[in-house]
């Protein structure tokens, strides 16, 4: 089961054609032509928001922010409606430093997405190294071990100070993403800052930064308006009231800007006296009551329906709203609404896309549930249909799942899951699949089951992959994948063959079915040929296997399946080495390495096989330095090779064991064999690989024992290693890895011993020197 190359994802909202801020910035909407970001960008997320009429200037707060340049983190945290984003904008206008801006949304809870936006935002201030984008485009790049260290090094190398603003940070709940941001703080160049704004944050260690004196905090009291500023805000809404009338209103609202603004709208729309508007209280519950009883009651039934029903949408456009409401004229309504108040925010200069103020949307959605409790799913379904018809399959899937439409979600998932996997968005994939699992839908949709099992296998999540594939039922309808040519049944056969769940003989049956049913024009053809070749290898038919593997290489290179071609070349190289045909093996290995390099697959799980083969070949030629580089690279990838893909996991470890034996490192070889034994315990019938295991075991036992070193790091220890350079304590690491504190401490001590160091800091430096973790 290998990577499938697919067209790039469409953005969630249109990519803008021009800059969307008044502050000068480089107007690139994509990174340089020789770089490929790992996903399409929603340009409005990278734009500093517009200056709007009626915004109240906050010069004292801006001066305080500008004076904080020696503090690496600024945290502006307050409930909704306190003008946090507006303050960040005013700071950006006043400060001489360039600002990189990322407006977070729920999809940034995938750390690959979050780090990509951070990188692109900073790149627009000063170009980052092309190698960084190559790493980010690599489908298997580890967040902790590869991307965070490389992005951190790129930030540290920047020549001018800057401010990185992360708006709506309360939406970031993913701990891996929060850990990544915290680590990046340590790499900011002198005079640079990370500014976070949101309702609050439980994921970032503000308390620790506060204790270290490394954060400037602003909260509700700082952002509350006084009488003068409140008067300016109310006047901007077209309401004239005296200072004496304003004071009780400010006191009652406790300076809450959005409450004051809504009160002004109430006065204007309903002819209320300022004294009666002062009866509003400054919290969400009273504002919700106010919106229901005063604000909405002063609008027409049509306007209320428009507001509440479109609150199901993350972003709004005229045509999308028309589809959801089954009416026309929404674009005009949006433009009119945007001119009248500050609660609908434009996302582009063309006036095409908007979003509601977060608080306003939350309250409108609650009102929809109160007024029309059964309508939400219908509206979301219409949104999903519009997105599907307009080339936005990911948005369609999100809306379909929120609507509870399992059929549509199952139809859409195959078109988005593999592209997301190829871009390394593993957290997003887990969330999509978790929805099916949470709704007890595993085993209901053959394509979802097959793809879910296959992708989970590539992610190394063997137990979950087994669960999905075990539940998958044969599809007798002859239905096809979104490519229009590949039967679902053939895909399921490919995955089952790759996972070897029922032994080598069953692999042969599944692989034959896949080869026979996947047509030549299918993007899965190369993978089908590969698994058939693997089936022949496991059953000792080497000549037949070579024919399949040669065909897999040809088709893979032609159809854009580089990892499939690279694996097939490595299989041929291993066969050649077994025969003593070292020249042929070097030729195939060089070709595989070239494919991996061109496709930026160095961090992809299947490339462990390339590194293992190259290490053995380097040792055969006496190239110890080259062998060390490849052995280290294979070490980094080894933890992701589990019994989910047992033939590959065993082959890689056997090749590494042979390499260590060539170095007289029996301790390293013995570690590999122990891991093979654990895989074979779960997948006992792997054909001829069992005989190879016995042969390597005999070679190990025939020589003297050696002292443990880097080669003896276990997969568990290699998983822990990237956490050591982070800010996380051992108890916090134990929570991330779902292990006990005692286990983490024991593993850390073992790492120190094997790296010949005595402390965490020394282990970090040694691991960096060896290449086991990034800079």
User: pLDDT of 131-189, one tens digit each?
Assistant: 787 778 777 778 888 889 999 999 999 999 999 999 999 999 999 999 999 999 999 99
Looking at residue 466, its pLDDT comes to 95
Q: 396 lies in a domain?
A: no
589 with 678, same domain: the answer is: yes
Q: 466 lies in a domain?
A: no
Coil, helix or strand at residue 644? coil
Domain boundary among 298, 319, 335: 298
Phi-psi region of 238 (alpha: psi -120 to 50; beta: other; left: phi over 0): left
572 with 597, same domain: the answer is: yes
User: What are the CB-based long-range contacts (under 8 Å, 24+) for 582-587?
Assistant: 582/617, 582/620, 585/613, 585/617, 586/617
Is 260 in contact with 230 (CB distance < 8 Å)?
A: yes
Q: How far apart are CA 576 and CA 727, in angstroms?
A: 47
Residues 6+ away with beta carbon under 8 Å from 256: 79, 81, 82, 224, 225, 282
Q: How far apart are CA 396 and CA 386, in angstroms?
A: 8
Q: Say whether pLDDT at 314 is over 90.
A: yes
Q: 352 lies in a domain?
A: no
Percent of the chain beyond pLDDT 90?
62
Looking at residue 23, its pLDDT comes to 39
Is 410 in contact with 448 (CB distance < 8 Å)?
A: yes
Is 686 in contact with 676 (CB distance < 8 Å)?
A: no
Comparison of pLDDT for 21 and 408, the residue scoring more:
408
Q: Say whether pLDDT at 737 is over 90.
A: yes
Quickly state the pLDDT bin for 592 (edges 50, 70, 90). very high
Instruction: Name the average pLDDT for the chain.
Output: 87
Q: Say whether pLDDT at 486 is over 70.
A: yes
Q: How far apart are CA 501 and CA 466, in angstroms?
A: 8
Q: How far apart are CA 507 and CA 505, in angstroms?
A: 5
Looking at residue 6, its pLDDT comes to 33
Task: Please report, to the nearest 10 degrees, the dihedral formed by the alpha carbons of residues 602, 174, 345, 228 taken in order.
Answer: -130
- Residue 47: CATH number of its domain: 3.40.50.300
DSSP state, 55? P
Is 245 in contact with 275 (CB distance < 8 Å)?
A: yes
Q: How far apart are CA 162 and CA 597, in angstroms?
A: 33
Q: Which of 9-23, 37-51, 193-207, 399-413 has the highest mean pLDDT?
A: 399-413
Comparison of pLDDT for 702 and 508, the residue scoring more:
508
Domain boundary among 199, 222, 245: 222
Rounded to an integer, the average pLDDT of 584-606 is: 93
Looking at residue 25, its pLDDT comes to 41
Is 8 in contact with 419 (CB distance < 8 Å)?
A: yes
Pairing of strands 215-218, 344-346: unpaired
- Residue 622: CATH number of its domain: 1.25.40.10
Q: 658 lies in a domain?
A: yes
Is 602 in contact with 424 (CB distance < 8 Å)?
A: no
136 with 270, same domain: the answer is: no
103 with 172, same domain: the answer is: yes
**pTM of this prediction?**
0.84
679 with 693, same domain: the answer is: yes
Q: 33 lies in a domain?
A: no
Task: Look up the domain containing 274 and give its range.
Answer: 227-298
232 with 213, same domain: the answer is: no
Rounded to an integer, the average pLDDT of 557-562 is: 91
Which region among 229-243, 256-270, 311-325, 682-696 has the lowest average model confidence (pLDDT)? 256-270
CA 45, chain centre distance (Å): 16
Which region among 245-249, 483-487, 691-695 has the lowest average model confidence (pLDDT)? 245-249
Rounded to an integer, the average pLDDT of 692-702 is: 93
Q: 240 lies in a domain?
A: yes
Q: 155 lies in a domain?
A: yes
CA 361, chain centre distance (Å): 26
Comparison of pLDDT for 764 and 254, the residue scoring more:
764
Q: How far apart are CA 216 and CA 637, in angstroms?
A: 40
Looking at residue 775, its pLDDT comes to 73
701 with 730, same domain: the answer is: no
Q: Say whether pLDDT at 236 is over 70.
A: yes
Residues 6+ away with beta carbon under 8 Å from 249: 230, 241, 260, 263, 274, 277, 278
- Residue 745: CATH number of its domain: 1.10.10.10
Coil, helix or strand at residue 352? coil
Closest to 501 (Cα-Cα) out of 457, 542, 541: 457
Q: 483 lies in a domain?
A: no
Rounded to an integer, the average pLDDT of 681-709 is: 90
725 with 700, same domain: the answer is: no
Q: How far apart are CA 349 and CA 352, in angstroms?
A: 8
Number of domains in the chain: 4
Structure tokens at 757: 């160091």
Looking at residue 146, its pLDDT comes to 84
Domain boundary among 172, 202, 222: 222
Rounded to an integer, the average pLDDT of 329-354 is: 82
Quickly state the pLDDT bin for 261 (edges 50, 70, 90). confident
Q: Is the dihedral of CA 401, 1, 136, 464 positive or negative?
A: positive
203 with 247, same domain: the answer is: no
Rounded to an integer, the average pLDDT of 2-21 is: 33
Pairing of strands 193-198, 163-167: parallel
Q: How far apart are CA 169 and CA 174, in angstroms?
A: 11
DSSP string for 375-411:
THHHHHHHHHHHHHHTT-HHHHHHHHHHHT-HHHHHH
Rounded to an integer, the average pLDDT of 213-220 is: 90
Residue 697's alpha-carbon distances to 381, 654, 666, 713, 738, in angstroms, are 59, 10, 10, 19, 33
Which region among 9-23, 115-129, 466-480 has the lowest average model confidence (pLDDT)? 9-23
143 with 277, same domain: the answer is: no
188 with 48, same domain: the answer is: yes
507-533 residue pLDDT tens: 999 999 999 999 999 999 999 999 999
DSSP state, 106? G
Stated as kind and residue range, the H or E segment containing 100 is strand 99-103
527 with 627, same domain: the answer is: yes
Rounded to an integer, the average pLDDT of 210-222 is: 88
Quickly state the pLDDT bin for 475 (edges 50, 70, 90). confident
């Amino acid at each position: 089961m290998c990577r499938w190359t697919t067209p790039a994802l469409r953005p969630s909202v249109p990519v803008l054609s021009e800059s969307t801020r008044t502050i000068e910035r480089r107007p690139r909407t994509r990174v340089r032509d020789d770089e490929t970001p790992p996903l399409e960008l929603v340009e409005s997320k990278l734009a500093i928001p517009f200056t709007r009429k009626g915004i109240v200037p906050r010069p004292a707060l801006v001066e305080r922010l500008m004076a904080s340049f020696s503090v690496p983190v600024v945290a502006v945290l307050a409930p909704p409606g306190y003008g946090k984003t507006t303050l960040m904008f005013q700071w950006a206008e006043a400060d001489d430093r360039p600002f990189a801006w990322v407006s977070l949304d729920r999809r940034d809870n995938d750390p690959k997405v979050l780090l990509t936006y951070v990188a692109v935002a900073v790149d627009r201030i000063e170009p980052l190294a092309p190698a960084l984008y190559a790493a980010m485009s690599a489908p298997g790049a580890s967040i902790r071990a590869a991307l965070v260290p490389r992005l951190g090094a790129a930030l540290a190398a920047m020549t001018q100070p800057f401010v990185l603003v992360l708006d709506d940070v309360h939406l970031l709940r993913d701990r891996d993403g929060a850990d990544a941001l915290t680590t990046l703080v340590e790499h900011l160049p002198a005079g640079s800052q990370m500014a976070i704004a949101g309702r609050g944050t439980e994921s970032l260690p503000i308390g620790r930064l506060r204790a270290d004196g490394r954060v400037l905090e602003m909260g509700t009291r700082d952002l509350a308006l006084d009488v003068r500023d409140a008067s300016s805000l109310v006047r901007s809404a077209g309401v004239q009231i005296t200072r004496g009338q304003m004071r009780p209103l400010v006191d009652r609202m406790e300076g809450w800007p959005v409450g004051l603004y809504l009160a002004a709208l109430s006065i204007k729309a309903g002819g209320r006296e300022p004294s009666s508007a002062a009866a509003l209280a400054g919290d969400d519950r009273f504002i919700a009551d106010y919106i229901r009883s005063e604000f909405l009651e002063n609008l027409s039934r049509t306007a209320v329906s428009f507001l509440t029903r479109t609150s199901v949408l993350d972003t709004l456009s005229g045509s999308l709203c028309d589809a959801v409401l089954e009416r026309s004229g929404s674009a005009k309504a949006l433009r009119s609404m945007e001119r009248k108040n500050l609660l609908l925010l434009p996302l582009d200069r063309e006036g095409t896309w908007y979003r509601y103020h977060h608080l306003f949307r939350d309250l409108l959605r609650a009102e929809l549930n109160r007024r029309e409790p059964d309508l939400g799913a219908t509206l979301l379904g219409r949104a999903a249909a519009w997105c599907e018809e307009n080339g936005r399959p990911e948005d369609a899937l999100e809306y379909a799942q929120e609507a509870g439409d399992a059929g549509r979600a199952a139809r859409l998932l195959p078109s988005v899951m593999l592209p997301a996997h190829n871009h390394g968005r593993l957290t997003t994939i887990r969330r999509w699949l978790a929805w099916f699992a949470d709704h007890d839908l595993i085993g209901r949709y053959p394509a979802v089951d097959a793809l879910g099992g296959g992708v989970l296998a590539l992610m190394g999540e063997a137990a979950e992959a087994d669960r999905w594939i075990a539940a998958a039922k044969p599809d007798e309808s002859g239905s096809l994948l979104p490519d229009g040519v590949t039967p679902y049944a053939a895909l399921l056969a490919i995955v089952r063959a790759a996972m070897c769940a029922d032994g080598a003989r069953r692999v042969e049956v599944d692989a034959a079915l896949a080869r026979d049913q996947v047509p030549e024009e299918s993007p899965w053809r190369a993978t089908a040929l590969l698994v058939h070749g693997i089936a022949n290898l496991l059953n000792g038919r080497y000549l037949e296997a070579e024919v399949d593997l040669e065909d897999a290489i040809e088709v893979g290179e032609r159809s854009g399946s580089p990892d499939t071609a690279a694996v097939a070349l490595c299989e041929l190289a291993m066969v050649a080495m077994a025969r003593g045909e070292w020249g042929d093996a070097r030729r195939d290995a060089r070709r595989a390495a070239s494919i991996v390099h061109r496709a930026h697959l160095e961090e992809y799980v299947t490339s462990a096989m390339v590194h293992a083969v190259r290490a053995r070949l380097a040792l055969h030629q006496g190239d110890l330095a080259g062998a060390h580089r490849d052995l280290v690279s294979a070490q980094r990838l080894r933890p992701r090779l589990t019994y989910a893909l047992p033939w590959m996991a065993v082959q890689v470890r056997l090749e590494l064991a042979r390499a260590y034996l060539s170095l007289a490192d029996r301790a390293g070889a013995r570690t590999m064999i122990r891991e093979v034994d654990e895989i074979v315990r779960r997948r006992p019938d792997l054909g001829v690989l069992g005989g190879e295991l016995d042969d390597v075991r005999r070679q190990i036992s025939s020589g003297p024992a050696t002292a443990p070193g880097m080669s003896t790091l276990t997969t568990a220890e290699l998983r822990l290693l990237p956490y050591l350079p982070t800010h996380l304590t051992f108890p916090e690491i134990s929570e991330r890895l779902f292990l006990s504190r005692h286990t983490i401490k024991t593993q850390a001590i073992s790492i120190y011993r094997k790296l010949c160091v005595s402390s965490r800091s020394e282990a970090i430096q040694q691991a960096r020197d060896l290449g086991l973790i990034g800079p």
